[in-house]
């Protein structure tokens, strides 16, 4: 019987690539505000706590308990500390960090048969370095990295392994908007990240409880 995998933000970019790579071997649910035509979909706005709760309730009712939670939702609108407004700041923090926190809560509440489950957070190398003009995004991704490290220890007794993946420059639609003149064929592709995620899901490994940086040299 195929196991259930939930991809938060699987309608584009790395999330879409993950859904594509997993869909033949797993029951894949995309939780997002936008649909992914390749897999099943449940509407979820990760900037809305009640929307997250409703989405996980629908997930449990329709599909049961997921074995894998992959959090790929992300938002960035680079602005300096003097320019950024309250709405942009809150949307950035909620989408990149608080949404992951609440999705984790819902995932842990869904009990299973004690077989090992896995959580994978897609963070960013922006959360590990100085990034002038990207303070909200970098701060939220740094928080996500620490959330992953903390959950790896806290959820050990729940038989849940937690992985934090921080990709470097990656050829996504969002990056194409932010870096207009970049040749995306020369940087890492979403499929390269998704193949590593698939390995994390399928293999028994010791890569949890650390921030795993993936980047093209």
pLDDT in tens, 112-152: 667 889 999 999 988 898 888 889 999 999 999 999 999 99
Asked whether 145 and 166 are in contact (CB, 8 A), the reply is yes
Per the structure, the count of domains in the chain is: 1
**179 has pLDDT over 90:** no
Helix (H) or strand (E) holding 133: none
**Domain CATH number, residue 135:** 3.40.50.720
State the residue for tokens 């999330």.
Answer: 15
SS3 assignment, position 123: coil
Domain range enclosing 71: 4-214
Question: What number is the average pLDDT over the span 170-180?
Answer: 72
Q: In what order do the strands lie in the sheet with 4-8?
A: 40-43, 27-32, 4-8, 68-71, 117-122, 160-167, 211-214
Tokens of 96: 């990149």
pLDDT in tens, 69-82: 999 999 988 899 99
pTM above 0.85, yes or no: yes
């Amino acid at each position: 019987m195929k196991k259930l995998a939930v991809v938060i933000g699987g309608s584009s970019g790395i999330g879409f690539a993950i859904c594509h790579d997993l869909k033949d071997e797993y029951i894949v649910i995309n939780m997002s505000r936008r649909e992914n035509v390749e897999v099943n979909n449940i509407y979820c706005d990760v900037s809305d706590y009640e929307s997250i709760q409703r989405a996980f309730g629908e997930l449990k009712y329709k599909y049961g308990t997921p074995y894998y939670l992959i959090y790929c939702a992300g938002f960035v609108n680079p602005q300096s500390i003097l320019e950024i407004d309250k709405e942009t700041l809150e949307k950035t923090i909620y989408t990149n960090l608080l949404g992951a926190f609440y999705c984790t809560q819902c995932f842990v509440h869904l009990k299973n048969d004690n077989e090992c489950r896995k959580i994978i957070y897609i963070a960013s190398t922006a959360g590990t370095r100085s990034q002038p003009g990207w303070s909200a995004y970098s701060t939220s991704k740094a928080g996500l990295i620490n959330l992953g490290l903390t959950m790896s220890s806290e959820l050990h007794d729940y038989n849940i392994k937690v992985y934090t993946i921080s990709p470097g420059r990656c050829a996504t639609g969002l990056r194409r908007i932010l870096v207009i003149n970049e040749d995306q064929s020369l940087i890492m592709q979403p499929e390269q990240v998704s193949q590593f995620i698939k390995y994390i899901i399928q293999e028994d490994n010791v890569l949890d409880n650390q921030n795993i940086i993936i980047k093209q040299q």
